[in-house]
Amino acid sequence: MLFAHGSGSSRLSPRNIFVAEALQHAGFATLLFDLLTEEEEANRANVFDIALLAERLDQAATWVGDNAAVRDLPVGLFGASTGAAAALVAAAGRHDVGAIVSRGGRPDLAADALAKVTAATLLVVGGDDLEVLALNQAAYRRLRCERQLAVVPGASHLFQEPGALESVVALARAWFLRHLAAASEETGHAVH
């Protein structure tokens, strides 16, 4: 599972770490890394440069595929904020991504790549995050892959409300187990 965080976040984000640890407990290998260097992140435009973020994520996925310890595992992408758009753009150009989960993401920023995504995609949005919910609904309509839009009632953009992040974890775990297990069966490799 590769994590692509968004603007204002990093591999040290407590939310990303919480989700990654929960997925590890479910048996998934996870990789949290920063898509930008500290210097690059200082230029705010880079945080919204979806092509650059997707290229970095694509390079990380290729590196994982070249690593003997994990190369036979199915690939899943977990994106938040602009990282969700990067995950979708990167997946649109790859055939080894089995599933994608977007948490409070901006899939709309993936633009024309949305119609090219073949990996099963779950968009998770807070019910009180009305602007991002509308953007996810529009992106959902453009996706042509197996997809689902899950709304966590009463949750804001950062899923800080009691139980909200746990709901995201439950949805992500179920999605990845279902779709990465299917990818494993096709290739003959174990999920975890």
Place 99 in a pLDDT band, splitting at 50, 70 and 90: very high
Quick one: tokens of 54? 């997707």
User: Is there a domain that residue 133 lies in?
Assistant: yes
User: Average pLDDT of 21-49?
Assistant: 90
Quick one: tokens of 29? 């290998």
165 by DSSP, 3-state: which? helix
Residue 163 has pLDDT above 80, yes or no: yes
0.85 exceeded by pTM? yes
User: Is there a domain that residue 179 lies in?
Assistant: yes
User: Is there a domain that residue 49 lies in?
Assistant: yes
* Domains held by the chain: number: 1
Q: 47: which residues sit within 8 A by CB, 6+ positions away?
A: 6, 7, 8, 36, 41, 82
Residue 38 has pLDDT above 90, yes or no: no
Name the average pLDDT for the chain. Answer: 90
CATH code of 128's domain? 3.40.50.1820
Condensed to tens digits (0 to 9), the pLDDT of residues 121-132 reads: 999 999 999 999
User: Is there a domain that residue 192 lies in?
Assistant: no
User: Is there a domain that residue 147 lies in?
Assistant: yes
User: Is there a domain that residue 29 lies in?
Assistant: yes
Residue 124's domain spans which residues? 2-187
Higher pLDDT, 192 or 6: 6
Place 69 in a pLDDT band, splitting at 50, 70 and 90: confident
Place 185 in a pLDDT band, splitting at 50, 70 and 90: low
Cα of 108 vs its chain's centroid, Å: 14
User: Is there a domain that residue 115 lies in?
Assistant: yes
Least confident of 20-24, 25-29, 37-41, 167-171: 37-41
Quick one: tokens of 183? 């990818």
